[in-house]
Amino acid sequence: MLIDERNRPKVLDPISRFHSFFEWNLGGYSLLDKMKMKHPSTKIYYAGKDVEFQRLILQRHPEILPFKEMAYDETILPENHFPWELQRVVTSLIEDSLNFNKDWKKFRQKYKVKSSGFHVVGKDKHLYVHPNAVVYPGVVFDTSGGPILVDEGVKISSFSFLEGPLYIGKSSQIDNARITGGTLIGNNCRIGGEVENSIILDYSNKHHEGFLGHSFVSSWVNLGALSTTSDLKNNYGIVKLKTGDVETNTGTIKFGSMLGPFSKIAIGVMLNTGSVTDIGCNLLDSRVSGYQSPFTWIRSGGHYRLEDFINDTRKIMARRSINLLPFEEEYLRSLYVSLVDIKI
């Protein structure tokens, strides 16, 4: 089996520079997890977009083999992982999680919470809460539109409204939130305010008021208080995303923003429909639109200093008790030099 990322569409670059699409946590499992569970004895090979990225992936996953010229039974391409397409199949991704982990059905029957007094709208049988999750009084779960999975160690505070289909990853915290329209939240996230039909990967924060709609948020992203995405043009036009000099038609009128890993969106920033931030951006402008190139500092044209970025990244990861591994730091340094100096 081959995961082939050599011809990855340019529109996926901003969200695929640190983790490959097959590593994304989508409903509790990555594509790699599913491949291993479905085909435990099958060898998995990988072909990266470039030599440096392939080395990063192979160091992170020593069980994966480097690409070589041979016949493969199956080839997996990134084209099936466009964010606007993934947002349409949230229910299927959650149902996959239910099928892969039979314990979910046990949790449905015997889950225990440290507090009582939450409410379920729709059928109780579509709510799955891990026994080690904490749900406070005043939380409302609406399963009318699909199942809700609350994983191990999740904490949901009072006055949150959660609508299925929805997956909340391990050790994530939900505070005074309204989450609707089909959403996937990764592990160890902090979420508050309003979220609609969005995918948020591991270790990212949107902990305060503000609207995140029809958006894709990579790992290690922070959205400041009152930062807001627009997910609909005022002329109801099709959303097109710009990545450098390449424009991609999403084919939908509902798409918000695509945020690359290690990006930080400051308090009160307004992200126009179809905004794209590449890896390592730190944006403070009150209004952001179009494409922000890698390691943008404050606004287009400025750049995050490399040593500041590395030091900040170490500190941010340490807050989740995660270390930036030496080979990951080496890769980020090499990526910075190649992208900022060449100015893609």
The CATH number of 83-187 is 2.160.10.10
CA angle 82, 87, 92 (to 5 degrees): 105
What gap in Å lies between CA 70 and CA 59, rounded to an integer?
22
Between 173 and 103, where is the model more confident?
Answer: 173
Give residue-wise pLDDT tens across range 228-240.
999 999 999 999 9
Give the pLDDT band (50/70/90) at residue 19: very high
pLDDT, tens only, 62-105: 999 999 999 999 999 999 899 999 999 999 999 999 999 988 88
The answer on pLDDT for 111 being more than 90 is no
Please check the confidence at residue 171 and state whether its pLDDT lies above 90. Answer: yes
pLDDT over 70, % of the chain: 96
Average pLDDT over residues 152-161: 96
Q: Which two tokens stand for residue 170?
A: 């391990």
Contact call for residues 107 and 128 (beta carbons, < 8 A): yes
Q: Residue ranges per domain, the chain?
A: 2-81, 83-187, 208-344
Are the beta carbons of 239 and 253 closer than 8 angstroms? yes
116 band by pLDDT with thresholds 50, 70 and 90: low
Neighbouring C-beta atoms of residue 131, cutoff 10 Å: 12
HSE toward the beta carbon, residue 294, CA cutoff 13 A: 23
**Mean pLDDT along residues 200-223:** 98
Helices 326-342 and 306-318, packing angle to 10 deg: 140
Q: How far is CA 227 from CA 20, 208, 283, in A?
A: 27, 9, 11
pTM of the shown model = 0.95
Rounded to an integer, what distance in angstroms lies between the CA atom of residue 323 and that of residue 310? 12
pLDDT band at 54 (very low <50, low <70, confident <90, very high): very high
The number of angstroms, rounded, from the C-alpha of 224 to the middle of its chain's C-alpha atoms is 17
The DSSP symbol for 254 reads B
| Residue corresponding to tokens 């349409």 | 88
Please tell me the predicted confidence (pLDDT) of residue 299.
76
Type of residue at 258? M
Instruction: Name the band, by pLDDT with cuts 50, 70 and 90, for residue 166.
Output: very high
